[in-house]
Structure 1
Amino acid sequence: MIDKLKEKIFYARAKARKERTAHFREGLEHNPLVPKVFVPESFAAVGAPMGEPAGMRDGHPVVRLEGISKSFGKVKANQDISLEVYPGQILALLGENGAGKSTLMSILAGRYQPDSGTIHIAGEPVRFTSSRDAIAAGIGMVYQHFMLVETMSVAQNVLLGQEGGFILNPTEMEERVGRLAERYSLALDPAARVGTLSMGERQRVEILKLLYRDSRVLIFDEPTAVLTPPEVAQLFPALRAMANAGKAIVFISHKLEEVLSLADDVAVLRRGRIVDKVSVKDVSSKADLANRMVGKEVLLEVDKQPVEVGEVLLEIEGLSGHGLKDIDLRVRRGEIVAIVGVAGNGQKALAEVLAGLREPLAGSVNLLGKPWKKFFSRASWRRTVSYVPEDRQGLATVKDLNLVDNVLLTTRRGFTSGPFLRKGRAAKVTDWLIRNFNVQPGDAAAQAGQLSGGNLQKLVLAREFYREPQLIIAEQPSQGLDVGATEEVWRQILSARNNAGLLLITGDLGEALQLADRVAVMFEGRFMGVFPVSDQERVDKIGLMMAGVKD
């Protein structure tokens, strides 16, 4: 009975969305500013031959941005930007953290409205007041944070709110979505529940949602940030298949090797302006691309000097519960231990236990020589354990507080004198941290919500390193950082091991192998193997271990 009621609600909501979409679509059809070719078509086109991309034949841009500017308070995110995107093209959008990449693409996707400038679709000016407008005009964006209903199937998520979706039975839904997934090499089971999928599979569902709408322009914001190397290897051929089918792809990434292997052209933003446009075939190397992006030479590597290993700072024996299964691990002063694996295999639960957010249910955890409960009953703010969570916007910071107050979140006791808070001294320290970690905008009075994801991450790292910790638990410390900032963070991490031990939880295998002394591969809550990075034979098997093959 309950299932039938849920199904009725699902179809009723889908029908309402269909009617709203049809109303907007009708407006587009009669709007002289939107060409007919950009009115989304039905699913009937799926399965047709891909053919030669139209834009490759006539050379006309499908999107032209002209004089786009956007400010948030005093922060000028975009300044007089003009850019063209062509069908069949994969355009990489590069820039340092805070350069304005995500803001520009959010304007194109209808999430933000520009303060000035014009968006042209197939040569005609348009104005989007919402993401729905942009989607109806054939433009879709896959964000880093997915918007899916976990209790529904892949097919239901794809067809949710789509025209005709409410009258289809489950079998027909799955057949349509299956054909679409096969056409673009997006391997998925249409009947699978989204809640059971890996991050890479969930991303494919988001892509299918846009392809089902017949989106002509697909924008990907750091699409590989949550993917394992095998998932990246599956994504890239799918993106190329979309481009070959005439889709225009905009690819935002900080990973230069990915840009060089995938993109046709590159546009570089710096401080809200386009400073360079170049064909990938004219880029000589990663260093050349990094130089264009940062404006100075970037080495793209770190000098990892040997450090004497000291006493055990973290000791875990038989840790189980919260999805963890019989975890054993030791981390010593002077060493970095990296935990790698597909997202959702217990890494977060382990980090939260070690950070004091969850109590161990079975086994033992000792931090700095003390049992878990005793350690967290009277933990100091300084020279103790620092935690850099993956959720930089929800857990690590408060978006409506300024940068001074965000620094005080974990350092407050260092700025008190009796019952008084020495806010002036905290402001001076925050200014110093902003300068030394190059946090942009360099204004301690700015709210955390005004910072780009990468700059917010640098603020969190600056705050936690200021505490002079003996043990550092860092989740995805360089995720979303540009090459220059990543290099800075890597140097800070390597420097910290002179006085601390580090547990590095990362989805970037290259980062793990660059920084770590030992690697632990995690699958379904247990370690499949723990070994030194110098053991090349076992390093070569990391991909298999991440898939559940025991070392």
Structure 2
Amino acid sequence: MTTAQTSAVAAPLIRLEGISKTFGPVKANQDIHLDIAAGRVLALLGENGAGKSTLMNMLSGRFQPDSGRIVVDGTPTVFASSRDAIEAGIGMVYQHFMLVNTMTVAQNVLLGQEGSYFLRPREMERRVAELAERFNLPIDPSALVADLSMGERQRVEILKLLMRDSRVLIFDEPTAVLTPTETPQLFAAMREMTRQGKAVVFISHKMEEIMDIADDVAILRKGRIVDTMTKASITSKEALASRMVGRDVMLEIEKAPAPKGRPVLEIEGLSGNGMDNLTLTLTRGEIVAVVGVAGNGQKELVETITGQSAPQRGSVKLLGKDWKAFYTNTPWMNTISYIPEDRLGLATCPELDLIDNVLLTTREGFAPGLFLDKERALGVTKSIIRRYHVQPPIPEVRARQLSGGNLQKLVLGREFLRQPKIIVAEQPSQGLDVSATEEVWHRLLNARMKAGVLLVTGDLNEALQLADRVAVMFRGRFMDVFDVADTTRVERIGQLMAGVAD
């Protein structure tokens, strides 16, 4: 369906005309034409690095286009800041929430709103409760944000935009922090928003979600809109994935059996620092997935295993050594590799080029004497870029110039270069397109032939596709640990993630 045909369905609230944006050698967006219509959900799809985030950051006022224009209600408009976009009725729900933990829900929603300073707490709570009910976003207005789940915090962010009477709401991978039961609640709220005349832009890499919630779909490839269509014209999620990537994509992966070896990680009665009597063994040749909503102890578990914090109570053994002995003098090869969730911060340094980012955890291998062999490091970086299909294929670009998916592929290439025996992979495919996800999954499955893999993920499909066993985590403890072949227990994962044991 062409842009003109989309306009016939509903007059656009927003029209993007010839939008382009370049960052150094990277052409993030090129001549983008796109309509965003009232009363409809527009799904924005594209591989990592296709330009989705850049485009939405221009629409929400964080970036300014190099050329082209944004037309709001038929009037060309310039957004010099996010505030300008908000005043024009455009709001974005980011993956990382911007809330004040010590304030209540109502205080957060009304923070910065004109006239809210003089409202009494009870009146604030009443207004927020009415708004929440209107849009099917159940929340306790008097609750402290610090006590909320990640799904509830997301509702507060949405209510903040709705209280500002945003007419266009942009959701960037919103289901990444939700339990399986919370996703349908979010979709119901989004449908209510469109019923009340608002426009929703939905960025997701999960094909089943697009098929569930979208009215229209726009596909970006290498910074350009290559296809727009109604959801009704899409025959299947496999067909949608193929149109996005430009080739056939398997949304399921075959898992060849791997020979089981000795234990590489042994956790016994690990407690303290947010953890409660955790016991788990990981052997070479298997993937164990730790699943749960973010904030239930996964971060603390990962920090302990990867040497960032010492165990307070209980024991942790890595490759047969106690935690302290293992981390007293850990060689760079043949031990443990960590693939963090925070790709642009903990995993890499944004301002360093790709060569220096490869050297972050492999430097010992390139310094046999007093001097660093930078020439060999360049060659290895080029090899990683080539083997892992990192785009753009330029070793000299800064890490911050790569998309999340391409940055993840660089990190995988760097960590697998170390030939680890333990791999801790934290949300390895979060925010990745289906093509990049497929590649990451294959890499992890192959890696388990020589290592044990601890996969920490909030994506149940990823856990069930890759793992041999699943450990469900809630409030610092394992609710259950079981084989993925146990279908009865698999069906109860959603309940276990919410803390329901029976």
**Alignment partner, residue 424 of structure 2:** 473
**Alignment partner, residue 9 of structure 1:** none
Residue of structure 1 aligned with 2:11, choices 51, 60, 72: 60
Query: Is the Cα–Cα contact under 8 Å of residues 102 and 145 in structure 2 kept in the other structure?
Result: yes
Is residue 345 from structure 1 mapped to residue 296 from structure 2 by the alignment? Answer: yes
Query: Is the Cα–Cα contact under 8 Å of residues 179 and 498 in structure 2 kept in the other structure?
Result: no
In 2, the alpha carbon distance for the partners of 1:58 and 1:311 equals 61
**Alignment partner, residue 152 of structure 1:** 103
Mapping for residues 168-317 of structure 1, pairs under 5 Å:
168-317=119-268
Q: What per-residue deviation string (whole Å, max 9, x for no partner) do you get for residues 102-136 of structure 1? A: 10011011110000001100111111100000100
What letter matches 2:200 in structure 1? I
**Alignment partner, residue 368 of structure 1:** 319
The Cα of 1:329 is off from its aligned counterpart by 0.4
The Cα of 1:65 is off from its aligned counterpart by 0.3
In 2, the alpha carbon distance for the partners of 1:446 and 1:462 equals 17
Query: Is the Cα–Cα contact under 8 Å of residues 56 and 88 in structure 1 kept in the other structure?
Result: no
**Alignment partner, residue 441 of structure 2:** 490
> What is the aligned-residue identity percentage?
65
The Cα of 1:59 is off from its aligned counterpart by 2.8
What letter matches 1:327 in structure 2? L
Query: Is the Cα–Cα contact under 8 Å of residues 16 and 33 in structure 2 kept in the other structure?
Result: yes
In 1, the alpha carbon distance for the partners of 2:185 and 2:409 equals 31
Q: What per-residue deviation string (whole Å, max 9, x for no partner) do you get for residues 464-507 of structure 1? A: 11111101011100001100010011001110111000110000
In 2, the alpha carbon distance for the partners of 1:56 and 1:243 equals 16
TM-score by length of 2: 0.97
What letter matches 1:489 in structure 2? V
Residue of structure 1 aligned with 2:76, choices 100, 106, 125: 125
The count of aligned residue pairs is 497
Helix, strand or coil for the counterpart of 1:417? coil
**Alignment partner, residue 402 of structure 1:** 353
Q: What per-residue deviation string (whole Å, max 9, x for no partner) do you get for residues 384-429 of structure 1? A: 1011111112211110111111111111111112111111111111
- Farther off after superposition, 152-161 or 453-462: 453-462
In 2, the alpha carbon distance for the partners of 1:249 and 1:198 equals 24
**Alignment partner, residue 545 of structure 1:** 496
Mapping for residues 128-147 of structure 1, pairs under 5 Å:
128-147=79-98
The Cα of 1:382 is off from its aligned counterpart by 0.9
The Cα of 1:84 is off from its aligned counterpart by 0.3
What letter matches 1:261 in structure 2? D
Residue of structure 2 aligned with 1:412, choices 340, 354, 363: 363
**Alignment partner, residue 4 of structure 1:** none
Residue of structure 2 aligned with 1:100, choices 27, 51, 70: 51
The Cα of 1:550 is off from its aligned counterpart by 2.6
Is residue 329 from structure 1 mapped to residue 263 from structure 2 by the alignment? Answer: no
Query: Is the Cα–Cα contact under 8 Å of residues 56 and 87 in structure 1 kept in the other structure?
Result: no
Query: Is the Cα–Cα contact under 8 Å of residues 335 and 497 in structure 1 kept in the other structure?
Result: yes
User: Deviating runs (4+, > 6 A) in structure 1?
Assistant: 55-58
The Cα of 1:58 is off from its aligned counterpart by 8.4
Structure with bigger gyration radius: 1
Helix, strand or coil for the counterpart of 1:218? strand
Gaps of 5+ in 1: 1-54
Residue of structure 2 aligned with 1:386, choices 334, 337, 345: 337
Root-mean-square deviation (CA, aligned residues, Å) is: 1.2
What letter matches 1:227 in structure 2? L
Is residue 421 from structure 1 mapped to residue 338 from structure 2 by the alignment? Answer: no
Residue of structure 2 aligned with 1:164, choices 109, 115, 119: 115
Query: Is the Cα–Cα contact under 8 Å of residues 335 and 516 in structure 1 kept in the other structure?
Result: yes
In 2, the alpha carbon distance for the partners of 1:407 and 1:58 equals 49
Q: What per-residue deviation string (whole Å, max 9, x for no partner) do you get for residues 29-66 of structure 1? A: xxxxxxxxxxxxxxxxxxxxxxxxxx999831100000
Query: Is the Cα–Cα contact under 8 Å of residues 175 and 183 in structure 2 kept in the other structure?
Result: yes
Is residue 521 from structure 1 mapped to residue 467 from structure 2 by the alignment? Answer: no
In 2, the alpha carbon distance for the partners of 1:227 and 1:474 equals 19
Query: Is the Cα–Cα contact under 8 Å of residues 341 and 427 in structure 2 kept in the other structure?
Result: yes
The Cα of 1:198 is off from its aligned counterpart by 1.3
What letter matches 1:155 in structure 2? A
Query: Is the Cα–Cα contact under 8 Å of residues 424 and 453 in structure 2 kept in the other structure?
Result: yes
